[in-house]
Each structure stands twice: as structure tokens, then as C-alpha cells.
Amino acid sequence: MNGGNLSNIYFQTFYVSKEKSNCPLIADALRIEKKIKEHNFSDIVISQRYGKRILINSFNKDEDEIRDTFLEIVDYDPIKKVLLVMGPNEPRIETPLHWFIHHARTEVNAVVQINDKELCEKLKKVPETQKDYSVVTLEQIKEVLKYLRDSKKVIIKNQGVIFVGNNLKEVEKLIFEVI
């Protein structure tokens, strides 16, 4: 993905609130995002489990207000393609993928996705999705979840790499082993 926001085409978003999130997990996410960006990766999606919600960075329009780009995903209905959100911005197209990972894998509390084709090519011995999906689909989500059974890293063909862990420190360690 190129970081563009296609979310309105693929799911409908309802806002419980447009208030900025005050989640205490934002500080760690910002720290890791800044550290990853120092390695010239700009399209980064970070999500963390926050109770029954998911904290995830949204479509970022203004770099100066990066703290304001975090959303809390209250719920997602994949059948109706409806996303229930708290926060000021639009969700990213990758949001349903992150929601499914957090809800399918109870041991996963943190997910970082770096959308960079060069990073995909650099990684060796990491499972890779077989099909090239243009956007996040249920088929792609199923394939990613299948590979996450045996690995904490999965290459999404021609898009990027997903890293998962129990917390952001664990995910950070996985990322900096490879970049």
C-alpha cells in the first residue's frame, strides 16, 4: 500500500466520538514509530490491544499532529463492513487486518506493519502470502493469520511486513533484528 486512504471505499466508519484518544499506550507507539522512521520507513501502522479496544494510528494528514492520529477501534463487523471508532481522523485501510489479528490471537497485544517493498525483498526465511492483494480482503486476512500461527513475522506480498508480539518491546526487538 502507498499510505493512501481507501478506507471509505472498503468499510463504513461510524464515530462514537471525535475526541482525541488519551490512551496511555500512545507514548510507546510514538517512540517506536519515530525510531522506525529514522531508518527511512514512512508508511507504518502500529496497533495495540487496549482492553476490548484496539489502539491504532490513523491516516496521517499532518506530521505535526502525529499524537492526534491515534484511534480507538471499538468494534468491527466484517460482514456488514462497519467500523466503530473513537478519534478525530479516518482509519487506515489496514485497520480490519489489525483488528482480526488482535481478536484471533489472544497472545498478540501489539502489531507493527511496515509497508515497504524493499524490506520485503530483504527478508529471508519469513513466510510470505502467496497472492498479491490490492487491498485488505478477508482472503488476505485468512492467509496472514495462517502464517502467524508459526511465525511472528509475515510478509504481505508486494505490500509490507507484519510483526506481532505480546507487547511493543517484543515487536520492537523483532523489527530491529531485521532492519
Q: Report pLDDT digits (tens) over 120-151.
A: 999 989 999 999 887 788 899 999 999 999 99
Q: Is the pLDDT of residue 8 over 80?
A: no
Position 1 in a domain: no
Query: Among 22-31, 128-137, 149-158, whose mean pLDDT is lowest?
Result: 128-137
- Using CA atoms, how far apart are residues 52 and 19, in angstroms rounded to an integer? 18
Position 68 in a domain: yes
- Using CA atoms, how far apart are residues 141 and 87, in angstroms rounded to an integer? 24
Q: Can you give the CATH number for the domain in which 24 is found?
A: 3.40.225.10
Query: Among 58-67, 91-100, 114-123, whose mean pLDDT is lowest?
Result: 58-67
- Using CA atoms, how far apart are residues 52 and 4, in angstroms rounded to an integer? 27
Q: Report pLDDT digits (tens) over 63-78.
A: 545 556 899 999 999 9
Q: Which domain holds residue 48?
A: 7-178
